[in-house]
Structure formats: C-alpha cells, structure tokens
Structure 1
C-alpha cells in the first residue's frame, strides 16, 4: 500500500493552542476554572524524551499484557505496535515515568530462525510507554512474523504482511471489515473467529473501537464477580487522557481482540465513541463550549494514537489528527480511508432522525470538510486501481426509516449531508470510477446496498455498492430480523440485505467480481458462540449491482 493525505486544521489558532496543552488532572466540571486547572499541569510536548532511562531488566511482571499489533501495510514497510503495561488497570500501568528500551524482531518464520530486521525502540512515558516501529526496506507482498522483548520478557508473536508493489498485477485480496465493540455489551467472540481465518489479508476497523460510557464492576453483561470485578475508575465516562488510556487497557485486555490484532494487520479509523457520542468537529453532544470539548478531543485523539498501530503522520497535534489517508494493494485496489467526524458540520435539526429539509440540504454543509472531499475526488482522478474502496464510518446510502411519503432519515449519517454525498458521487462519475465500494460501520447491523444515481428511482444507474459491517458486540445479541426489518426493506429497494446479529464481513476482491460474506454469531452475551455465514453477495467488475452468491 502507498499512503498520502494532509489536512490543515479548521480550528482557530487560539483553540488549537489551548487544547494542545493536555492536563493530567481530571475535569470535575465544565467551567472555565476547570479548564484553567487542566492547562496548569501540562504533559511534555510530543516527542519529548524523559530525562532518565529505566532498566528493563527491573520489570518484574509481564509488560506485554495488551498484546501486539501491526497496521497500514505498504509495499516495502510495516508498522509494528505494542505498549508496556505490567499493571494495565493502574494509571501508571505499573511503570515509572522513565523511558524504556524495547527490542524488536521481524522474521520470515514463526520460530525466528530467518530474521529479516531487528532493532531497538524507545517506549516513552509521554506516550504511555507505547511503541510504534516503522520497518522499511522490506520485500513487497511478503508475510512476516514479529515480536518484542523488554528485559527478560518476550511478547507473543504477531503475523503481518507488506502490500504488493504499486504496479503489481495482483489478482486477489480478502479484507475483513469490523466496527463497534462495546465491552460492556458482550464478548468479542467474533474476533476469535476472525483471528483464525487464514484467508484474510488485512482488517479494516471502521470506528467505535471503544465507548466512552461507564463500565461497572461486573463489566456489564460479562457479569464479573469475586476477584474478577473491575476497578471503580472504569465506572465513569472517559474525559481525561488518563481515562481514555485506561479504557484502551480494558478493551485490549480481551484475549479475542488481542488474537485478531496478532493474526492480521489492521487499518483503523475512528468514529465518535472514541471521543464522545455524535460529536461534530468541535461541537460536543451537549453543545458545550468548543474550547473545553477540544481539550477532551485532544486527550481522546492522543490515547487513540498511543493504542493503535498507526504511523507517525497520524500522530495528533493537540486536538487535530490526520486520520484520512490513501493505501493501495497493487493495481487491484485503492483504499481511501475517511474521517467523517473531525471536520463535519453540526448535525441538522438537533441530530437524531428527521425529514430532510432546508437545514440538512444546505449546500454549504459537509460531512468530510472541503479539503478531505477534494482529496478524495482528486485521488479517484489519479487512480489506476480496478477497485476503489472507501472505508469510512456512517451509512452512505439513503436509508429511509419509515414508509411515509416524506420519510425520516438519520441526521448523523450521509442522509443528513446530502449535498456532500451528491458532490462525492458526482466526483466519482467525473473520475470514471467504475467499481466503487464503500465500507461502513456504526449502525450495529449488517447491510448490503446498491449505491444509486438517484436513490428515489430504483431503475436509475447503480454507481457502486456499500457493505455495512455489523458490530462486534455493541447492541448485545441482536436478531436475524430486527423489528424494523420489514419497514426498512420496503422503504429502501436498493437495500439488498439486512441482518441484526453481531460479527464481521469479509470482502474478497478479484479481477472479475467482489464477494461479500456476512459472518455472524448467535450470541455475544455468553462467550464461545460459533460463527456462520448469514449471506453472501457478489458484484461484477464493470457492472455494479449486488446479487446473491
């Protein structure tokens, strides 16, 4: 894969500078006094090395409790990640505020008999002792194994791969799309099955990696008791940097999530819950002061980068982070990973569902921001890929929520930004994009849509397909046919599939067609459920339109 993409901040310099000074102390109120308290105790600047080094040989418990991960594969490079945390549920992770040297190895084989690269990285306390290693000068299209060492402790082994060279004639790629993993709503059983799937080349996480909501001592439906109960500090909403860091530690303590990360490289992008539900740019859910929300956003963005396999260009600068980027898989596919949360206009009509009207259809409204929109369309103009795939967050296709002549739609999805959607589809047509696929998360169900030139005219041209991945656990067990199944399928003839169970979707991209397999589990409120394929669809190269496989 190759990568590109930049975006200048939309925020005033004053707000950005204020939010760049992250406070260690927790916000107790949303007053100016609390914000001033946060400013008073600042973290060191990004990249600052702590003065002292801690001898890794003094670490007395396994520091690799949060596992290993890799991400954003390029033709000659992989990104390797881990975070040292002997006591992951403690604020300091059980380590002193000193830098620690961590060794890493990359090999052709699981036993590390044929080591390709090795080196030493530094785990800085300023970044919560996370490690991001960009290993370059590798062969394109290769499979590799990696591990870390700190003192006497050795991490588990991860498996990753590089992308084919940009001009390679690549005949196939299988991706998995996942989203929405509320820890308190159930077990991450789907990840156990995904980790064991040898056909998957890369996983796209489409947002809501964690939830900001409080998690009680029982871990929600997980029902912990006795010595397994969670510490009280999880039973509050995430607001500060410490809160978000601890919440990632909770999520990454799940063995099935760790197994999926170790088995496959991930390409991640965020939605709202990594920060706060339904925020829009610098506007929080309660329409509070933007300066105070940007402080929270800066904390959330920094913790996200610390805990994800992301490269240096994605390192946040205060409340801003470059999350949209472009990756390729030979000539077969171009992936334009979007951020539909950081730059969007505020939701129309107070958010929620509403009949479209002048407020939502204002041409000045945007879900991507003008710069990202131009970047996407310009990238399509330059694309030589057979498939142009857009991994992003919220439902792209029209989705009427009732059978009324003037039906309500979601103001948080692209339906609330119809001018944005029209500009993007016009850009795809002008660029001559023949095989467009949108990958989506957010809604805790699986959908398969035909993307229509005119969604209100079923006979209009099909411009592409949208594959919506259901949640890993959010929404608890769900149902094969939710209560609104009949309404949605009747109101939206371009909706070809709708299922409300938990799981993930795999998409096999080929030279002649793409196949989507919707994988579901019958329950997440109890562990160990089996996986099954709920439905499979294909769409042909040069003739978009979903049909059962």
Structure 2
C-alpha cells in the first residue's frame, strides 16, 4: 500500500524509530567500536532559511532528551551523521548525500547547509546515526530571483508556552502543507515549573529550573522539541525563525535584563548558543559570545522579500519602567528598537527591493495601540509604541523607497489582531500606508475566549485596528502578485489535545492598495464552543505578555 505524503510526514517519528527506511549506508563496524546508541532522533528534523539554490537541514541527537546536563544522554564523542536529500519522498531519486559530525560542544546538533540545488523545487531529507534512521522531512528551495511565482502559501506563528496547553495548532498548521513557515518569537519559555500559570491551571509542566545556564536552555529546547505536533510542523516545510524575549528571559533589552542581574551576559550567551543549536539556521548565525547575527532576508523570487528583524538584541531599554504608560520618552528620536545598523540595513533593503511584497517578519506590535479612552495616549513600552521615532523612520523609509506593498507580521501579544498602518495615528483620516497582521499564540495564556468581530473596547479609540480575537492559533497567508490573503485560524481550546482548527476571519490586501478588506467572519460553531473547556473570565482580558503575571 502506498503511503501518502501526509502520512509519511506526520507519522515520521514512528517510521524512524522502527528503522523503516533502509536506503542510507551503514558503516561497517560503526557500532562495534562504541556502545551502540539508543534511538537518537527524539527531537525530529527541520529545515530552514531557504534560498533559490539551497537551505539548511537540521537534527540533534538526544536519546534521553530531558537529561539535566542538557546533552540528551549522548556519549562524549563525535558521531557521524549521514544525510540524504531526494527529489521524491521514497528516496528513489537521491540528489545529494553526505556525512556531518555531531559533537558534544554543540550538543550533538547537526546543521547541513546546502547550495547548488535547483530553484523552486520540493525535496525530501533524512538522517542516519549508526543503525537509526530519522523521520523524513519535506523542504523546498525558493524560486529563482528573477522569476515571479504564481503563489506562495506561507504560515506564521509565535508564543508556544509548554505549560499553557498542547501544541495542536502546530499540527493543524502542518496539515495545511504550507511552503514556508515563519516563527516570530517565544518558541520556548524560560520559567520554572508553576511560575507562569494560566487561570485554569497547567495541563503539563516544564522540566528543570528557570533557564539560566547552557545546560538549562539545552534541556528546555529539547523538552519542547519532543512534542510530536511541533515536530510535524518542522518536518512539513522550511522555517525562518527569529527570537523574541522568552528565548532568553522576559522583556530583556540588549544587555539590560528584566531585573538587575550581574550574570545576565553569561545567561544571554548561553541562550543564544542553545537557540542556534536547536534551530535550522545558517552558519552566519553562529553566536559569538553575547552577539548573534539574526536579522536577514529570505527572498521568494520577485514575489516577496521577507525582512526578518531582531527587535531585542539592539534595542534601547524600555522607557518609563516598561508596561503600559503615557510616556514622553517613548518619542525620543534617539531611541531605537532595531539599533542604527539594522535600521540602515532595512532601509537599504527597501531601496533595493524589486519585490511585489516587502514583508517584515518581527516580534512586537507595530501599529499604535492606545488602551486609554481619554486624552492620554497609554501604550505598551515593550512594543514599537515605546520607540515611536524608530517606527516613524521605518515607515517613512518604505514610503520614500516606493515599496510597492509593505506588510508587517507580528507575534508576542497572544491574540490575533489586524490593523491598517498610518503615518499619523492621531488623525484617523490620514492615509493608510501599510498593513499589520498579528498572529495569536500557539498556547500562551491558555484556552482564551472567542469574541464577536469588532467588539474589543480599544477599537473605539484606535479606528485603524480592524480585527481581534483571543483564541489560540496561527495565520495562513496566500501571496500572489495581485493580492495577499490572510486567514486567521483558531482552536477552541488547547487545555487538552486534538482540537479542530477554524478560520475565524479572512482579510485581503490588494496590490498597491495598503490596508485590509475583510472577506469572511466565521464564528466558532456553537457545538464546538459548548464542547470546549470553560474559559476563565480573566483570560478574556489577557492581551499582552510583557508583564509577568
């Protein structure tokens, strides 16, 4: 019986564990010289940072993924890891193969950076260590730089707090078989067990203490990677990732921690090292102490350029003591959320772009979001509202460059939002100059609650805000030369596994017409709502993660 692609990808862990794929060579006597490894591919496989002629293939060996030393139960020795890349899912047409070395100093992670492949092609890959074969992953190269693809199916997600629910949303995203996935931060959380709780309680728990050391971060990443739903999403398409705060600690800003901590530089360096080890990133992102090159571009032919930003590593400290404030310092032109070098890189990218769509993949809310109905402007100091001049320079930069279709993608706030972008948010009649799409969390803050479109109280004094929903989920986009369609998918619950996904609302952005046009408003079916766990009323008001509960 022939297995479908979805069966192979979403059941790959079982195939790998059973050794069902046998085409990879087995080195004679490899296991005899050392104690044989137990099954090491417990963290799955991944690919990322696609270019027109290549991408990165990733895996990490960890027979005991939750080992306290962060090394996954691996012996202190080098392990050859064979890899194969094929044009078909049964590996009848292998186009590349080779051997990478997994070493203790990198927690036995493997990054295979390939080039010289054909553009716009689908490929399949797998690994072998000793006699163990990994699950199969699917990936693809981007189209050739001079071509205009007919369409791109891209999904984006953020904020997966292990203790707050099950990662079903990752599997539902995988089942849509996107061609590219963006992860916009808070891939993992640093908290100790029973520290950052949802009102209804934690359905599962973190392993180990609050992450501060390299061993802690390696163990925490491994715990997240053991999740089968997350593995399915990694195996279905290449990812482009950026971190936000919780990959290190809540609300850090450059070298300033949330609370005074003389050990913060060492903590940041450890977090960066573990992040690189556990993500499908190119060697240009290998950390150097407390520094890590994360901002970069992913080009999808002439259809879209994704400017992946880093709004943590170079930002000035949050103004006025963080939180929601009416803060004059937030408008100080000397303050920046990107740093001068990254800002210049981004503005230069706008000027050089010939893409139909220029898309910023970044972490925190871009549009103004005032939570005060009176004369004061009360906004989040952790978002672009805390760096008003920085936002203004970027917005004016894409206008000056004549960017055809600027779109900002955002995570962080644990709810779906969509908004029109303005140069002057104080004047609701000013022209719209771009669009922002914000994805909800995968699990963070728990089940959440559905609401009628347009019912959020902040809409009354933020008319550029167009949509909000506080259920968990992700956003799917279909990008064509003529329009970008955004489907805001939600799950009715995450406090138990297996929830269905629904498209709660859909919007279209037309070519050269900045701003949103709603095309669908789909309330969750009443039968599904009644079957969901009861939502705590307190969860309906949780909108922002930037202040620790």
TM tier, smaller: 0.7 to 0.9
233, 241, 260: which one pairs with 2:214? 241
Q: Give the distance between the partners of 1:61 and 1:457, measured in 2 at CA.
A: 63
1:120-139 counterparts in 2 under 5 A? 120-139=99-118
* Residue aligning to 2:183: 205
CA contact (8 A) 2:453 2:468 kept: no
1:543 and 2:513 are equivalent in the alignment:
yes
* Residue aligning to 2:274: 303
Aligned-CA RMSD value: 2.0
Q: Give the distance between the partners of 1:417 and 1:55, measured in 2 at CA.
A: 60
CA contact (8 A) 1:354 1:408 kept: yes
* Residue aligning to 2:73: 94
Alpha-carbon spacing, 1:55–1:393, altered in 2? closer, same or farther (3 Å): farther
* Residue aligning to 1:11: none
Q: Give the distance between the partners of 1:483 and 1:402, measured in 2 at CA.
A: 20
1:366 and 2:336 are equivalent in the alignment:
yes
326, 346, 350: which one pairs with 2:297? 326
* Residue aligning to 2:36: 59
CA contact (8 A) 2:62 2:73 kept: yes
How far residue 486 of structure 1 moved from its aligned partner, in angstroms, is: 3.0
CA contact (8 A) 1:132 1:311 kept: yes
* Residue aligning to 1:30: none
How far residue 491 of structure 1 moved from its aligned partner, in angstroms, is: 1.8
Q: Give the distance between the partners of 1:445 and 1:470, measured in 2 at CA.
A: 4
CA contact (8 A) 1:169 1:332 kept: yes
CA contact (8 A) 1:54 1:100 kept: no
* Residue aligning to 1:105: 84
Name the SS for the 1:534 alignment partner: strand
CA contact (8 A) 2:165 2:203 kept: no
Q: Give the distance between the partners of 1:471 and 1:310, measured in 2 at CA.
A: 23
* Residue aligning to 2:52: 75
How far residue 453 of structure 1 moved from its aligned partner, in angstroms, is: 2.0
CA contact (8 A) 2:453 2:469 kept: no
1:283 and 2:253 are equivalent in the alignment:
no
Q: Give the distance between the partners of 2:174 and 2:202, measured in 1 at CA.
A: 21
Q: Give the distance between the partners of 1:461 and 1:399, measured in 2 at CA.
A: 17
Given the two structures, how large is their TM-score scaled by the length of structure 1?
0.86
1:215 and 2:186 are equivalent in the alignment:
no
Q: Give the distance between the partners of 2:354 and 2:36, measured in 1 at CA.
A: 50
* Residue aligning to 1:177: 156
313, 326, 331: which one pairs with 1:342? 313
1:136-151 counterparts in 2 under 5 A? 136-151=115-130
How far residue 531 of structure 1 moved from its aligned partner, in angstroms, is: 0.4
How far residue 346 of structure 1 moved from its aligned partner, in angstroms, is: 0.4
1:231-282 C-alpha deviation (Å, 9 max, x unpaired): xxx2421000000000001101110000100011110000000001000000
CA contact (8 A) 2:454 2:468 kept: no
Q: Give the distance between the partners of 1:495 and 1:80, measured in 2 at CA.
A: 39
* Residue aligning to 1:191: 170
Q: Which runs of 5+ in 1 are unaligned?
A: 1-52
Which has the larger displacement, 395-404 or 148-157? 395-404
Q: Which runs of 5+ in 2 are unaligned?
A: 1-29, 520-549
* Residue aligning to 2:284: 313
Q: Give the distance between the partners of 1:58 and 1:101, measured in 2 at CA.
A: 14
* Residue aligning to 1:260: 233
1:161 and 2:161 are equivalent in the alignment:
no
CA contact (8 A) 1:168 1:331 kept: yes
CA contact (8 A) 1:54 1:96 kept: no
Alpha-carbon spacing, 1:294–1:56, altered in 2? closer, same or farther (3 Å): farther
Name the SS for the 1:190 alignment partner: helix
Q: Give the distance between the partners of 1:396 and 1:436, measured in 2 at CA.
A: 12
Q: Give the distance between the partners of 1:197 and 1:175, measured in 2 at CA.
A: 10
Q: Give the distance between the partners of 1:54 and 1:391, measured in 2 at CA.
A: 44
Alpha-carbon spacing, 1:333–1:483, altered in 2? closer, same or farther (3 Å): closer
* Residue aligning to 1:515: 485
Alpha-carbon spacing, 1:319–1:483, altered in 2? closer, same or farther (3 Å): farther
Name the SS for the 1:533 alignment partner: strand
Q: Give the distance between the partners of 1:485 and 1:367, measured in 2 at CA.
A: 31
CA contact (8 A) 1:57 1:152 kept: no
Tell me the matched-pair count.
Answer: 486
Which has the larger displacement, 55-64 or 449-458? 55-64
1:285-308 C-alpha deviation (Å, 9 max, x unpaired): 01333xx21110000000000000
